[in-house]
Each structure stands twice: as structure tokens, then as C-alpha cells.
Amino acid sequence: MVAGYTIPKGSIVYVNVWAIHHDPQNWANPLEFKPERFLRSKWDYNGNNLMFLPFGSGRRICPGIPLGEKMLIYILASLLHSFVWSLPKDEAFELSDEFGFVTKKRKPLVAIPSPRLPDTSLDN
């Protein structure tokens, strides 16, 4: 029994992580893009902090969390160092999403990279 509901043995249960991540009881202004909210404290990815489950939880938690955390910083730094990013001409920056089994952007983001350094040998 979970929250008053009987779950039959062998059932597959899906957790709506999108709803958890957008719950106004857990997050102030949950629909606003505010990445700085995650800089205030160290998040527990092991499933003990049920307000934030980006890598799953329990037995099925992603085993690549430590690698993902480290590589994301290096990849982002390399992209920001090597390119100047811009939107296509006459296009506005828009962040709305559409809900489904997975959440995706309503209109795909197109960003145009331009080399930041004139000499490509300096990129290394």
C-alpha cells in the first residue's frame, strides 16, 4: 500500500519526476528558469532528497553520476571557450516546454556557434 492505494504485485510504477521538480510546495516559482537555485546547497542525488531526482533513485539510480558531474563542467567550459553562441536572425529566445512521457522544448532551440579564436590551433 502506498499513500492509501493498493499496488498489485508485479505492477510497473512510474514516478512523475517532472511533477516533483515543478511542485510549488517544494520550489518557489517552479516554472521559472532559475539555475541559481541549485547553487545554494549540495544536492543529494542518492534519492534521499525527494524534491530533486535528476538521476533516478534506489536500485535503478544512474551509476554514472560522478562521471557526469565532472564531465559536464569540462564539456561546457570547452564549448564556451571555443565558440561565441548566437540565435538565428530574428528569432527570440523561448523556453516553453510540452509535457509528455519525457519533457521536451515546444520549439527546438537552435544556437549558432561561431569560432571565438581566429587561429584554430589556439583552441587546444
DSSP state of 5: B
Residue 43's pLDDT is 63
Q: Does residue 75 sit in the same domain as residue 118?
A: yes
Q: Does residue 55 sit in the same domain as residue 71?
A: no
Report CA Rg, the chain: 19
Task: Give which of 87, 101, 91 is closest to 14, Cα–Cα.
Answer: 101
Give the end-to-end CA distance of the chain in Å, rounded to a whole number. 57
Grid cell, residue 110, equals 537552435
Give the rounded percent of residues in the chain with a pLDDT score beyond 70: 86
The answer, as to whether pTM is greater than 0.75, is no
Number of neighbours of residue 106 by Cβ within 10 angstroms: 10
- Containing H/E element for 70? helix 65-82
As for how many domains the chain has, the answer is: 2
Dmax (CA) for the chain in angstroms is: 65
Q: Does residue 29 sit in the same domain as residue 57?
A: yes
**Of the candidates 62, 84, 101, which is a domain's last residue?**
62
62 is in an annotated binding site: yes
Q: CA–CA separation, 3 vs 5, rounded Å?
A: 6
For the stretch 54-98, pLDDT in tens is 777 777 788 888 888 889 889 999 999 989 999 988 888 887 888
